Structure formats: structure tokens, C-alpha cells
Amino acid sequence: MSRFARERRVFFVEEPVIDSTEPHMKMTICPRTQVCVVTPHMPATDEPNRVLRRLLTEFVDAQGIRKPIAWFYTPMALEFFPETIEASAVVYDCMDELSMFRGAHADLRVLEKHLLNQADLVFTGGVSLFEAKRQFHPQVYPCPSGVDLKHFAQARGLKGDYKELAGMPRPRLGYAGVIDERLDLDLIDQVAQKRPGWQIVMIGPTAKIAPESLPRRANIHWLRMKDYAELPQYFAGWDLGIMPFALNDATRYISPTKTPEYLSAGLPVVSTAIRDVERPYGELGLAKIAHDADEFVAHAEQAMIVDMSFKWRERADEFLKSISWDSVWGGMNRLILGVLNETPAAGPVVEKVARAVPGSGPFETGMGLESPASV
């Protein structure tokens, strides 16, 4: 969205804050990116979608927004998106199979069918999700996670241990992301037990699982959520980036952003058999894939010795150039301009991933953006 904001006004509508105030919209403009974050505030009510629809209608009118690009991250937003807003294009950015997440709303699948009928373009957060969705829409394109290369590459030049890492023994195996039902907590516990000298560093907020279910050992460190700006400093103190995901419904279609982030930081990577990590990262030798705790330990030991070589990093860096967020944004933007009839659609978002997926068209593989004509 920060890249779209370079040439359009971007309004990122958040979920509502429930408080005792009169219903209103609060808008905060990010000084760095110029993305406008719009947060609805409203009291508890039996008809939240009706209130949200009114607030959004009034906000769009007050801002002079005409024929915006309506960008949906979730089909649930259809429940409050005003029918009076005439969109110049509708984009469904399907980042996950949300219906398979714990606590998913019962209406998600029905609303997704409605959204697919309305959408001009559908982007998916990975190749496996693309393969699951392409039968339902003629314009589905895989957009696996990009990476902010410069941000995470900072880790390679940082010295010393940051905050909680100070004095922590090595080697350190690190994870950064949401800690929820997608993680294999038993695997984490087994690895910590098998190698008590290894330090397992877990960064991220806990969601949808009880804190008491987290394994507790002297060499497992739960450091909670950290600011995005701090992550390179933590990564600099690790010896390996890990992705100990469970293989379940919630992980069937994920394409973890942390894979390229770890690689950009210069870290070798070990993951469980997540399909969008196996292909392309596993096939290209940029990540090692483990199927049980013993294999995870063996791959980790090898990765911390072999995969720190200059030649391995060189190969990783060459691949990462093709999946920068600038590259992902460029591919998306070309397709959107094609829908708007401003320029013909052309070019892949991620060429190397694209070539691995036959028959997927030109990629081979929030609401909302305001069109330039309406700014």
C-alpha cells in the first residue's frame, strides 16, 4: 500500500474500535508513506455493519473520493461496504484461506463467492492458494510474499546482541511471527529437548491459543511482539531462521513472509513441509525442509555450518532480487491499470515462482485505492 500511495491516495480501513464515543472515523496519515489509516470508532451495537456502512459512506463523501479502486483483504468487508460507492475496479487480495482459521466466521465462504463474482482481479498470497482459487475466477494471479530487502539486509552489518539477546548462549534459532494454531508447539518442545544447548528465540504476539499451552524450557525464550523496525537487530543475533509450522488446515495455503526476510538478513532457513516453502525455496536449495523433530535438528545443524557460505548467500541474493516488494507492486499495478484501460496488462509479479506453475496466465504461476483520475 505504501507503494500505491506514491501515485494514488490510499485509505486503509481498519476494524472498528468499540468504545463509548459517538460513531466517527479517525484518520491518521503516515508521515513516511502517506497511507491514510482510517479507524472507525463506535459504541457496542446489535447492528455494527449498518453503523460502519454509514460511517464509510460519509467518509467517502467528505474526502471527495470518486470511483475508487476497492481493495478487499477479507470477504467480511462486503457486509459493510456501501453499495452506493461506485468502484472503478474491485480487487480481492486473498492472503490466506481464512475459512480454515480457528474461529472463522460461518458466512466467510458465502461472502467469498459474492466477492469473487464482483472482483475484477484476484491476487493470492501464494502459489498453492492460487491453485485452489483459479477455478473460481478467470483473473487469479499468485503474488507470494515479497520482502523489503534493504530493511532486513541491515542485519548483516549489525554487531553485538540486541536487548534480550545480550548474554544468551549460542547457537540461537529464531522465529518471528504470530504465535497461534499454525505453529507446531510439540516440535518446538522436542527440538529444545534434543538440543538443550541451543537457544530457541520466539518473537511475536500470541493469538487464539492459551499462553499456558506454550512449551516452557530454559532454552525456549518467548520474547513477545517487537516493532518491525527492530527485527533486523534481533535477526543479527541469530544463527538460523526457523519456521516450525504445524501441517494443518490453517497452514495448507500459507506462504510465509518470513522466508525471504530471513534470507535477506543472511540467515539460513529450516522449515517444516509447507508447500509454498518447499516450492520454490526448498527446490532451489534456499531452505531445508524437515518432516519431524529429528530431521529438523539434523537440517539445523547442517544449515548453520554449510549454508553460511558466501556462495549460498550469493544464490539467495540473486533470487531475492526477483521478489522485492517493488517487483510485486509493479506486477499488481500493471494488471490494475489494464482493468482501468490505462495501459495493457503485462509482466509477471514473480518470474521464478511463476515458471514453476504451469497454466497460470501472464504470471505463470483494505479498501481502497483511489484511481489517479479521481485524485
Write out pLDDT tens, residues 246-298. Answer: 998 888 878 888 999 999 999 999 999 998 899 889 999 999 999 999 999 99
Tens digit of each residue's pLDDT (9 = 90 or more) over 181-234: 999 999 999 999 999 999 999 999 999 899 999 999 999 999 999 999 999 999
Q: CA–CA separation, 22 vs 20, rounded Å?
A: 7
Residue 244 has pLDDT above 60, yes or no: yes
Q: What is the third-level CATH fold of 4-146+325-374?
A: Rossmann fold (3.40.50)
pLDDT band, very low/low/confident/very high, at 307 (cuts 50, 70, 90)? low
Statement: 149-321 belongs to CATH 3.40.50.2000: yes
Average pLDDT, the chain: 87
Mean pLDDT along residues 337-365: 48
Q: Which of 139, 101, 85, 100 is nearest to 117 (CA)?
A: 139
The single-letter DSSP state of residue 14 is P
Q: Three-state SS for 345?
A: coil
Mean pLDDT along residues 302-329: 82
Residue 359 has pLDDT above 60, yes or no: no
Residue 374 has pLDDT above 90, yes or no: no
Q: What is the value of pTM for the model shown? A: 0.73
pLDDT at 48: 92
Among 164-168, 313-317, 345-349, the range with the most confident prediction by mean pLDDT is 164-168
Q: CA–CA separation, 150 vs 257, rounded Å?
A: 15
Instruction: Please say whether the beta carbons of 94 and 125 come within 8 A.
Output: yes
From the number of C-beta atoms within 10 Å of its C-beta (0-12, 13-18, 19+), residue 243 rates as buried
Bridge partners of residue 242, in order along the sequence: 270
- HSE-CB at 285 with a 13 A cutoff on CA atoms is 12
Q: CA–CA separation, 201 vs 198, rounded Å?
A: 10
H runs (alpha helix) in the chain? 48-62, 108-118, 127-133, 149-153, 185-194, 231-235, 258-264, 275-277, 293-306, 310-320, 325-339, 351-354
CATH 3.40.50.2000 region(s) of the chain?
A: 149-321
pLDDT at 260: 93
Instruction: Please say whether the beta carbons of 81 and 53 come within 8 A.
Output: yes
